[in-house]
Structure 1
Amino acid sequence: MKCSNLGYPRIGENREWKKTLETFWAGKLTEEEFYEQTTQLRLHHLQKQKEKGIDIIPVNDFTFYDHMLDMAVMFGLVPKRFSYSGGRVPLSTYFAMARGEQNAVACEMTKWFNTNYHYIVPELDDVTPHLTENKPLTAYKEAKEKLGIKSKPVLIGPYTFVKLSKGYEKKDLAQTILSFLPLYEQIVKELQKEGVEWVQIDEPALVTACTKSEKELLFSIFERLHTAAPQLNIMLQTYFDSIVPESDWLNLPVQGIGLDFVHGVEQNLTQLHISGFPEDKVLAVGLIDGRNVWRTTLSKKWELIEELLQIVEADRIWLQPSCSLLHVPVSAQKESHLAYEIRSALAFADEKLDEIVLLSKRHTLGAEATKKEFTEHEEAQQLLLHSPTRARTKVHEAVQSIQEDHIGRHSSFNERKEIQQKTWDLPLLPTTTIGSFPQSAEVRQARQKFRKFEWSEKQYEEYIEDKIKEWINIQEDIGLDVLVHGEFERTDMVEFFGEKLGGFVFTKYGWVQSYGSRCVRPPIVYADVEFLEPMTVKESVFAKSLTQKPVKGMLTGPVTILNWSFIRDDISRKQVAYQIALALQQEVKALEDAGINMIQVDEPALREGLPLKKADWNEYLSWAVTAFRLTTSSVADSTQIHTHMCYCEFHDFIHVISELDADVISIETSRSHGELIAAFEQNIYDKGIGLGVYDIHSPRIPEVDEMSKMIQRALDVLNPSQFWINPDCGLKTRGVDETIPSLKNMVVATQAVRQQLLQQKS
Structure 2
Amino acid sequence: MNTHILGFPRIGRNRELKRALEHFWKGRSDETALLELARSIKKNNWLIQAEAGLNWITTGDFSLYDHVLDTLCMLGLVPDRFHGEQGKIDLTTYFHMARGDIERNVPAMEMTKWFDTNYHYIVPEFAGEPSVRLGSSRLLNDTKAVLALGLRPKPVLLGPLTLLCLGKQDRPGARWAWMAPLLEMYARVIAKLDPLCDWIQIDEPVLCTDLSPEARARALSAWARLAGAVSGSRLLLTTYFGPLAENLDLALESCFGGLHLDLVRGGEDLDPVLERLPESMSLSLGLVNGRNIWKTDLTEAAVLGRRVRDRLGPARVLMASSCSLLHAPVDLRSESDLPATLRAGMSFAVQKCHEVAVLGRSGLDIEASEELKANRADLASLRSDPLVCRATVRERTAAIDDTMLHRKQTYALRKPVQQAWLKLPPLPTTTIGSFPQTKSIRAQRKKWKKGLLDHEAYEAFLREEIGETIARQEALRLDVLVHGEAERNDMVEYFGERLDGFCFTQNGWVQSYGSRCVKPPVIFGDVARPQAMTVPWISYAQSRTDKPVKAMLTGPVTMLCWSFVREDLSRSEVCRQLALAIRDEVCDLEKAGIKIIQIDEAALREGMPLRHRDQESYLAWAVDAFRLTSAGVEDSTQIHTHMCYSEFNEIVEWIAKLDADVISIESSRSKMELLEAFRRFAYPNDVGPGVYDIHSPRIPTVDEIVALLKKALEVIPADRLWVNPDCGLKTRGWPEAVASLRNMVEATALLREEMIADPA
TM-score (norm 1): 0.97
Tell me, yes or no, if the aligned pair for 1:59 and 1:136 is still in contact at 8 Å. yes
Give the aligned partner of residue 112 of structure 2: 110
Tell me, yes or no, if the aligned pair for 1:438 and 1:731 is still in contact at 8 Å. yes
Write the deviation string for residues 623-679 of structure 1: whole angstroms up to 9, x where unpaired.
Answer: 000000011100000000000001333321211111000000000111013311222
* Structure 1 SS opposite 2:126: coil
Distance in 2 between residues matched to 1:451 and 1:346, nearest whole Å: 25
Give the aligned partner of residue 401 of structure 1: 399
Give the aligned partner of residue 242 of structure 2: 241
Tell me, yes or no, if the aligned pair for 2:522 and 2:563 is still in contact at 8 Å. yes
Q: Supply the AA of the counterpart residue of 2:376.
A: E
Give the aligned partner of residue 754 of structure 2: 756
Distance in 1 between residues matched to 2:278 and 2:77, nearest whole Å: 37
Give the aligned partner of residue 138 of structure 1: 141
Alpha-carbon offset, residue 269 of structure 1:
1.9
Alpha-carbon offset, residue 77 of structure 1:
2.2
Alpha-carbon offset, residue 23 of structure 1:
1.4
Tell me, yes or no, if the aligned pair for 2:258 and 2:284 is still in contact at 8 Å. yes
* Structure 1 SS opposite 2:200: strand
Select 2:182's aligned residue among 180, 183, 206.
Answer: 180
Distance in 1 between residues matched to 2:313 and 2:138, nearest whole Å: 34
Greater shift in the superposed pair: 44-53 or 171-180:
171-180
Tell me, yes or no, if the aligned pair for 1:209 and 1:244 is still in contact at 8 Å. no
Tell me, yes or no, if the aligned pair for 1:554 and 1:600 is still in contact at 8 Å. yes
Distance in 2 between residues matched to 1:87 and 1:80, nearest whole Å: 8
Distance in 1 between residues matched to 2:600 and 2:498, nearest whole Å: 17
Alignment of 1:109-508 (within 5 A): 109-126=111-128, 128-145=131-148, 147-167=149-169, 170-192=172-194, 194-210=195-211, 214-248=215-249, 249-265=251-267, 267-273=268-274, 275-363=275-363, 366-370=365-369, 372-404=370-402, 407-508=405-506
Greater shift in the superposed pair: 377-386 or 6-15:
377-386
Give the number of aligned pairs: 756
Q: What RMSD in Å do the two structures reach over aligned CA positions?
A: 1.5
Distance in 1 between residues matched to 2:212 and 2:606, nearest whole Å: 23
Distance in 1 between residues matched to 2:580 and 2:381, nearest whole Å: 27
Tell me, yes or no, if the aligned pair for 2:113 and 2:645 is still in contact at 8 Å. no
Alpha-carbon offset, residue 280 of structure 1:
1.1
Greater shift in the superposed pair: 12-21 or 324-333:
12-21
Distance in 1 between residues matched to 2:276 and 2:78, nearest whole Å: 44
Q: Supply the AA of the counterpart residue of 1:294.
A: W
Alpha-carbon offset, residue 251 of structure 1:
2.3
Give the aligned partner of residue 614 of structure 2: 616
Distance in 2 between residues matched to 1:211 and 1:124, nearest whole Å: 17
Say whether 1:709 aligns with 2:707: yes
Distance in 2 between residues matched to 1:741 and 1:442, nearest whole Å: 21
Q: Supply the AA of the counterpart residue of 2:256.
A: V
Select 2:730's aligned residue among 703, 728, 732.
Answer: 732
Write the deviation string for residues 130-150 of structure 1: whole angstroms up to 9, x where unpaired.
Answer: 1113332222112212x1222
* Structure 2 SS opposite 1:229: coil
Alpha-carbon offset, residue 384 of structure 1:
2.4
Tell me, yes or no, if the aligned pair for 1:664 and 1:688 is still in contact at 8 Å. yes
> What percent identity do the matched residue pairs reach?
45
Tell me, yes or no, if the aligned pair for 1:290 and 1:327 is still in contact at 8 Å. yes
Q: Supply the AA of the counterpart residue of 1:279.
A: E
Give the aligned partner of residue 570 of structure 2: 572
Distance in 2 between residues matched to 1:56 and 1:88, nearest whole Å: 33
Give the aligned partner of residue 562 of structure 1: 560
Residues 214, 78 of structure 1: alpha-carbon distance in 2 compared, 3 angstrom cutoff: closer
Q: Supply the AA of the counterpart residue of 2:215.
A: E
Alpha-carbon offset, residue 571 of structure 1:
2.0
Alpha-carbon offset, residue 476 of structure 1:
0.3
Give the aligned partner of residue 22 of structure 1: 22
Distance in 1 between residues matched to 2:546 and 2:300, nearest whole Å: 61
Alpha-carbon offset, residue 179 of structure 1:
2.8
Distance in 2 between residues matched to 1:216 and 1:312, nearest whole Å: 30
Residues 362, 486 of structure 1: alpha-carbon distance in 2 compared, 3 angstrom cutoff: same
Select 1:680's aligned residue among 675, 678, 681.
Answer: 678
Tell me, yes or no, if the aligned pair for 1:210 and 1:247 is still in contact at 8 Å. no
Distance in 2 between residues matched to 1:362 and 1:313, nearest whole Å: 16
Q: Supply the AA of the counterpart residue of 2:558.
A: T
* Structure 1 SS opposite 2:541: helix
Distance in 2 between residues matched to 1:629 and 1:675, nearest whole Å: 27
Write the deviation string for residues 715-759 of structure 1: whole angstroms up to 9, x where unpaired.
Answer: 111110000000010000000110011111100100110111122
Tell me, yes or no, if the aligned pair for 1:4 and 1:320 is still in contact at 8 Å. yes
Distance in 2 between residues matched to 1:546 and 1:702, nearest whole Å: 29
Residues 526, 141 of structure 1: alpha-carbon distance in 2 compared, 3 angstrom cutoff: same
Q: Supply the AA of the counterpart residue of 1:135.
A: R
Q: Supply the AA of the counterpart residue of 2:203.
A: D
Distance in 1 between residues matched to 2:213 and 2:601, nearest whole Å: 36
Distance in 1 between residues matched to 2:213 and 2:539, nearest whole Å: 59
Distance in 1 between residues matched to 2:349 and 2:230, nearest whole Å: 33
Write the deviation string for residues 30-76 of structure 1: whole angstroms up to 9, x where unpaired.
Answer: 21121112111111111111111010111010011000000111122
Distance in 2 between residues matched to 1:583 and 1:447, nearest whole Å: 25
Residues 48, 156 of structure 1: alpha-carbon distance in 2 compared, 3 angstrom cutoff: same
Greater shift in the superposed pair: 400-409 or 724-733:
400-409
* Structure 1 SS opposite 2:182: helix
Alpha-carbon offset, residue 406 of structure 1:
5.7
Give the aligned partner of residue 587 of structure 2: 589
Greater shift in the superposed pair: 211-220 or 291-300:
211-220
Distance in 2 between residues matched to 1:330 and 1:404, nearest whole Å: 43
Q: Supply the AA of the counterpart residue of 1:751.
A: A
Distance in 2 between residues matched to 1:113 and 1:404, nearest whole Å: 32
Tell me, yes or no, if the aligned pair for 1:215 and 1:247 is still in contact at 8 Å. no
Write the deviation string for residues 503-554 of structure 1: whole angstroms up to 9, x where unpaired.
Answer: 0000001000001000110000011101111000011000000100000111
* Structure 2 SS opposite 1:487: coil
Alpha-carbon offset, residue 88 of structure 1:
4.4
Say whether 1:549 aligns with 2:540: no
Residues 508, 218 of structure 1: alpha-carbon distance in 2 compared, 3 angstrom cutoff: same
* Structure 1 SS opposite 2:494: helix
Any gaps of 5 or more consecutive residues in structure 1? none
* Structure 2 SS opposite 1:538: helix
Distance in 2 between residues matched to 1:322 and 1:168, nearest whole Å: 35
Say whether 1:694 aligns with 2:695: no
Q: Supply the AA of the counterpart residue of 2:384.
A: H
Distance in 1 between residues matched to 2:162 and 2:740, nearest whole Å: 36
* Structure 1 SS opposite 2:672: helix
Distance in 1 between residues matched to 2:669 and 2:570, nearest whole Å: 35
Q: Supply the AA of the counterpart residue of 2:188.
A: Q
Greater shift in the superposed pair: 662-671 or 12-21:
12-21
Alpha-carbon offset, residue 209 of structure 1:
2.1
Tell me, yes or no, if the aligned pair for 1:669 and 1:692 is still in contact at 8 Å. yes
Tell me, yes or no, if the aligned pair for 1:168 and 1:176 is still in contact at 8 Å. no
Residues 645, 334 of structure 1: alpha-carbon distance in 2 compared, 3 angstrom cutoff: same
Q: Supply the AA of the counterpart residue of 1:456.
A: D
Alpha-carbon offset, residue 185 of structure 1:
1.1
Distance in 2 between residues matched to 1:711 and 1:142, nearest whole Å: 50
* Structure 2 SS opposite 1:562: helix
Q: Supply the AA of the counterpart residue of 1:180.
A: L
Tell me, yes or no, if the aligned pair for 2:404 and 2:632 is still in contact at 8 Å. no
Distance in 1 between residues matched to 2:664 and 2:595, nearest whole Å: 18
Alpha-carbon offset, residue 212 of structure 1:
5.5
